Structure formats: C-alpha cells, structure tokens
Amino acid sequence: MTVLLNNLKRIFLKPINIVLMIVVPIVLNLMFISIFNAEQMYEVGIIDLDDSKLTASIIEEMKIAANTHEYENDDAVINSALINSTINMAIRFPENYAEDMINGKCPKVEIYAVEENTDSVPLTMLVAAIGTNCGEIGKLCDGDEDKFYDCVEDYLEGTFQTEYNNFDLSKGEQIERAVNSLGYLAMGMMFLMSFATTLLLEDKMSRVYSRILTTPTTRASYLLQHLLSYVIVAAVQVVLIISLLPVIMDGQLSFGDSFGVTLQVMLVTLIFATACIAIGLTVSRFSKNNVVAGAFIGLVNLPVLMLGGCMWPRDLMPEGLQRVGDFVPTTWFLKAAEEVLYENGLGAAWKELALLGGLAAILITVSFLVETDDKC
C-alpha cells in the first residue's frame, strides 16, 4: 500500500490540486447559479392619458416590480421601443380611468408586448388585480371620491399590498440546473486525467518504477495502487462537491429529492470519474514525457467537454456536432445523470453506464497488460 499512500500525499498536499478538484467546480457553479438566478427588473413604458391620482398610485406600486418610463401617446414611438427592446412592455391608461373607477365601472388598461414570458406575468397580474379591486372599491364607495381614494390608499398600503416574486423553478428546470452543474463538475473530473498522467510520468522519468522492481512489488500491484489512489481522490471529490453545493447554494440547487437519488448521482459521477482516470492512465503508459502527455490531454479535454454539453447545451450545436458528441464520455455521463435525477433509476441509464464502464475497463486492461519500452 506504499504507492497508494504516497500518491494520496502527493495529490492532497499540493494546494493547486485542491483548487482544481474542489474549488474550481464550486466557483463555476456559484457563477452559473448567480447569473441564472439574478432577478432582472422589467422595463415598462407608461402612457398615462388620465394623469390622475389613481394612475399615479398604480404606477408607484408597479415600481416594486419594474423600472417605469413615461411615453407620449405615440404608437410609432412605443412600437419602436418594444421592437428595439428599450422596454419589455407598454401599459396605456385610458382617459377618465379614475373617474370611471370612482363611478363603479371597471375600465381596462391596454398592455402591449412583443412576446410574453414568465417575467411579465406577475406584472400583468399585478396591474389586473389592482384594477379589479379598485373597481370593486368604487362600487362600494358609490361615487364618493374622497372615500374612494382613502380606501384605495388603505388597500395599496395595507394587508392587500402586492409583493412581486419570481415563480419557483419547475421540476424540469431544477433537473436541468442540476445537469448543468454536473457539467461543470465534469471539468474537475477531467483534471483526474492530468493527475493520472503526471504522477505516473514523474515515476517513469525518475526511474522510480525501476527501483520498485527490486522490491516484492509487482508491476500489476504498482499500477493497481496508482489506480486505487485516483479512485479514492475521485470519491472524495464527488462526495464533497455533491454534498456541499446544495448547502452553499441555499436550496437553489438539488441533486435529487431523496437521499437515494443523490447516492445514485454520486455513483454515476464516480463511474464517469473512473473513465477519466482510465484515459489518463493509458496516456501516461504510452507517453515518453510530460510534454507529449500534456499535449494529448489538452487536445482531449476541451473537445470532450464542449461536445458533451458541459459548457453549453448540446441543442445549441449543429446536428453534425451533436452526432459526434454522442460518442464522447461526457455525453454518456450527463445523459445517465439526467435519467437518475428524473428518478427513473440506474436501470434506465444502463446503456450510458455500460459505455462508461466498458471504456474504463478496456483502457485499464490495455494499461495493465501492454508493456512499454521502459518496462513501466
């Protein structure tokens, strides 16, 4: 076990290794969540043809949810602002809006938008709710303007005051976020290829293996201890990151609704990590020095991450690249993780897991059985 323990020391005692394995994936996930979870203020154009105390109060209430911009009643200017995305939507209050409300009528505001999305729905509902409730207040006040405005003020400032909130993520959106997060974690997993390559080549170049031959340790035992050390490192990385990220994200990220699903995600990730280790192990066995190995790993890492959907959704890539991406381990990993997160179980991901396990088994077998010129 000497080789195994020595490798663990060589890996964990270097701060840069901890940064690459643990800190980088967590930081990337924090950046990803903060960007996609940031609340963006909606830009709303206001055309107030009534210019009353009521419309002024409603506009003030809308500022909770949006940045408001006053516009003249010019359709060409409003359409241009919408098309150029200067504003996301426009609201026109008709003439005599307040007067009709006081008299118990329910005048309608006009709302214009290029396209409706989830950001505009709360604002549209806010305006509609205020209009409906003010109409009901007008009916109860029976044309008494002072009483009407007193009631409206109590309504807007009291227990019925509207609070603007984003909608919660759907289950599909939560899973998509978790899969994207695992894509960033895959970058950390790929660094295991570098560890496997670097440590073995250091031993090769310094002739450590030649000296080990004089001991009872066999070549198979030496390589097996190397492999186990990387698997242990991968297990620590997987457990730490998948356990810590939901806590750090304060509930904005989840790797399953139950502990069982989370364990399955960890297992899928560890199988992927083993495939990464196998690639690095194979490269190191057939490389003469760090320059050759580093160049090959560099050529493998980036395309595999991009084609597998770790840096952006695969749907954004041309059809031809998507088909090429079907043959890279990162694609198999994320597809398997998605099946597990949808609570379909490991059985639903058997094909992807078989491909990852088969790749790892073949490469490890080649690394163990094929001898190189320097007998390492």
Torsion sign, CA atoms 336, 341, 342, 345: positive
Q: Which residues pair with 290 in a beta bridge?
A: none
Among 98, 118, 125, residue whose Cα is nearest residue 39: 118
Q: Which of 7-11, 51-55, 261-265, 372-376 has the lowest mean pLDDT?
A: 372-376
The 10s digit of each residue's pLDDT in 43-61 is 889 999 999 988 888 888 7
| Whether the predicted pLDDT of 338 surpasses 70 | yes
| Whether the predicted pLDDT of 334 surpasses 90 | yes
What percent of the chain stands above pLDDT 90?
17
The 10s digit of each residue's pLDDT in 125-145 is 777 888 888 888 888 888 888
Would you call 205 helix, strand, or coil by DSSP? Answer: helix
pTM of the model: 0.65
Q: Where exactly are the structural domains of the chain?
A: 2-36+170-369, 40-157
Q: Which of 133-142, 151-160, 262-271 has the lowest mean pLDDT?
A: 151-160
Name the band, by pLDDT with cuts 50, 70 and 90, for residue 357: very high
Average pLDDT, the chain: 81
| Whether the predicted pLDDT of 361 surpasses 70 | yes
Among 212, 240, 237, residue whose Cα is nearest residue 226: 212
DSSP string, 75-133: HHHHHHHHHTTS-SEEEEEPTTHHHHHHTT--PPPEEEESS--TTHHHHHHHHHHHHHH
| Whether the predicted pLDDT of 229 surpasses 80 | yes
| Whether the predicted pLDDT of 12 surpasses 70 | yes
What is the structure's pLDDT at 175?
A: 84
Residue 209 · residue 376 · CB < 8 Å: yes
What is the structure's pLDDT at 184?
A: 80
| Whether the predicted pLDDT of 9 surpasses 50 | yes
| Whether the predicted pLDDT of 167 surpasses 50 | no
What is the structure's pLDDT at 373?
A: 59
The 10s digit of each residue's pLDDT in 98-122 is 898 888 888 888 888 876 555 566 6
Whole-number Å distance between alpha carbons of 105 and 124: 20
Name the band, by pLDDT with cuts 50, 70 and 90, for residue 376: very low
Among 59, 372, 50, 100, residue whose Cα is nearest residue 223: 372
- Which has the higher per-residue pLDDT, 243 or 122? 243
Measure Cα distances from 30 to 143, 242, 313 in Å.
55, 13, 18
The 10s digit of each residue's pLDDT in 280-310 is 888 887 777 777 777 887 788 888 888 888 8
Name every residue whose Cβ is closer than 8 Å to that of residue 286 and which is 6 or more positions away in sequence. Answer: 372
Q: Which CATH architecture has domain 40-157?
A: 3-Layer(aba) Sandwich (3.40)
| Whether the predicted pLDDT of 265 surpasses 60 | yes
What is the structure's pLDDT at 354?
A: 95
What is the structure's pLDDT at 164?
A: 44
Length of the chain (residues): 376
| Whether the predicted pLDDT of 159 surpasses 50 | no
What is the structure's pLDDT at 41?
A: 67
Name the DSSP class of 314: G
The 10s digit of each residue's pLDDT in 52-92 is 988 888 888 788 778 889 999 888 898 888 888 888 889 99
